[in-house]
Amino acid sequence: MSGKDHFLRMVLQDASRRLAAAGIEEARAEARILMAWALETDAAGLLLIDNISEGMLARFDAALARRLMREPMALILGHAGFWTLDLAVSAETLVPRGDTESLIESLLAACPSRDEALKILDLGTGTGCLLLAALSEYSTAFGVGVDLAPQAAALACGNAERNGLAERSAFVAGNWADSLTETFDVVLSNPPYIERAHIAGLMPEVSQYEPGRALDGGEDGLDAYRVIVARLPSLLSPQGVAILELGQGQGPAVSELAARVGLRTMERRCDLGGIERALVLKREER
């Protein structure tokens, strides 16, 4: 083993130990991810590095310090994967999560023809992950993403450019669908649904670093659903479908809200952890 290899191994071992002590489960893997980022390579490239400069080590140390404070890895790296996309992230938005991909799976099941020229609306778009993933699957679709925060809408717009989807998307700042008068074939939303009293008890990566407006669902976690569901009858085209992300155990309550405005539940799809995550709604047939 060369001196370089020994030094790198020792640095990674120390970083892994410190990350584990901070309560991070995949400490060894995260140490390697941070080192690869600092050295501007990938995991395989770590084996080929010939020289580690002081600047690279300083970059690694700074990133490690941020992760030890439980800042999300995606915010340190500046990007996150979602579906087949690579998305820029910021503290203005939620970090895209794999659980949310169940909404795209539900969309593909509800609208199996990929050639449909769908009009898609994403309420609370954040990074744009849901809308952009949908557009990546439907090559003639067009979509609008709305977010309360102008900074989030701007980030989503940049992500559309980043993934070659800018010509088929538009992003605006607004309060849910207040400024919209047209109808859509698909409405997607991952609204805030955490009960307010529970936010402080979430893992630090969430409670300390992700925007409260994207988490806080009010006293019972249902405030945003009440607003969105009430607007769905005027937002959906006659055969339109709405797909909402759910918090754990919220399926029956949100389905009941939908039933009150003439929407029927078509599916409640589970994520990979077995939690009901995607609620699919359509108009009641008359």
128 is in an annotated binding site: yes
CA atoms of 267 and 276, how far apart (whole Å) = 10
192 is in an annotated binding site: yes
72 is in an annotated binding site: no
70 SS3 class: coil
- What are the b/e assignments for 68-88, b being 16+ CB within 10 Å? eebbbbbbbeeebebbebebb
147 is in an annotated binding site: yes
Q: Which of 182, 183, 184, 202 is nearest to 192 (CA)?
A: 202
Per the CB < 8 A criterion, the answer to whether 273 and 218 are in contact is no
127 is in an annotated binding site: yes
- Is the four-CA dihedral 177, 180, 183, 184 of positive or negative sign? negative
190 is in an annotated binding site: yes
126 is in an annotated binding site: yes
3 is in an annotated binding site: no
Binding residue positions for S-adenosyl-L-methionine: 124-128, 147, 176, 190
- Binding-site annotation, residues for substrate: 190-193
Known binding residues are 124-128, 147, 176, 190-193
